[in-house]
Amino acid sequence: MVSVVHLIQHPLVDHHLSQLRDVATNSAAFRQNLRPLTALLAMEATRDLRQEDRSVTTPLQKITGKKLSDRVGLIPILRAGLGMVETALEFLPESEVWHLGLYRDEQTAEPVEYYRKFPQSHPVDVGLVLDPMLATGGSATAAFTTLQQWGVPTIKLLAVIASRSGIELLQREFPTVSIYVCAIDSELNQQNFIVPGLGDAGDRIFNTFPRGTSAR
């Protein structure tokens, strides 16, 4: 079984993604444009959540409605993934949020874990990993490994932009994981940034560029 890549194609994706890519977009506008993209990804990624019947009384009569029966966990990869949490919680207000802190070693390009907040038991039914960028795939691989060790049966990645090489790595290493993206870019540069990409998503979300520099 090969993991499925869901490329979200929609005029709103094209519009908001172009705003994110634009080097002239400041951090406030970047965060604003990230929200609808996260919403579209969340809508697609939750299409197959399990439901159960519930009795609902309208102003006119009783009906049989639905409620979600899956326990959903949101797992933002710190720090850029934090920019997607608030929007995801608007759709899934009862979901659990568990944090995983990773940074990329600039010499090896490998992920280094610096923070993990997960319980030891009682895994969620569905884990939604949130990270705006899937570049080398190293951070996503570390996140998926953590969730599998926890015992999460269904794992999905929500990313705004992915590289082809990052997708290929995840498909090899995690054939049952689904990937939801707004765009697939073809290249990584020598610094392992996605090209054309949008630069460093964390810096652009949190306005933390070194003094005198801007988005790259």
DSSP 201: H
- State residue 107's pLDDT score: 72
Query: C-alpha angle with apex 208: 39 to 20, nearest 5 degrees?
Result: 35
Q: Does any domain span residue 95?
A: yes
Task: Check pLDDT > 90 for residue 19.
Answer: yes
Q: What is the CA radius of gyration of the chain?
A: 18
Q: Does any domain span residue 216?
A: no
For residues 24 and 17, what is the distance between their CA atoms, to the nearest angstrom?
13
Q: Which helix (H) or strand (E) holds 173?
A: helix 164-173
Domain that holds residue 176: 5-47+72-206
Query: For 175-192, what is the mean pLDDT?
Result: 92
Q: Does any domain span residue 105?
A: yes
> Which residue in this structure is represented by tokens 């299409």?
47
Upstream peptide bond of 196 is cis (omega within 30 degrees of 0): yes
For residues 182 and 50, what is the distance between their CA atoms, to the nearest angstrom?
24
* Residue 83: CATH number of its domain: 3.40.50.2020
Q: Does any domain span residue 110?
A: yes
- Give me the number of domains the chain comprises: 1
- For residue range 189-213, list pLDDT tens digits in order: 988 899 999 999 999 999 997 765 5
DSSP 71: -
Comparing C-alpha atoms, which of 79, 104, 116 is closest to residue 194? 104
Q: What is the pTM for the complete model shown? A: 0.91
Residue 96 near residue 124, CB atoms below 8 Å: yes
- For residue range 70-99, list pLDDT tens digits in order: 999 999 998 899 999 999 999 999 999 999
Confidence band, pLDDT 50/70/90 cuts, at residue 109: low
| Count of C-beta atoms within a 10 Å radius of residue 10 | 14
Helix (H, G, I), strand (E, B) or coil at 138: helix
Q: Does any domain span residue 65?
A: no
Q: Does any domain span residue 43?
A: yes
- State residue 211's pLDDT score: 60
Q: Does any domain span residue 113?
A: yes
The phi, psi pair for 22, rounded to 5°, reads -65, 125
Mean pLDDT, the chain, whole residue set: 92
Q: Does any domain span residue 143?
A: yes
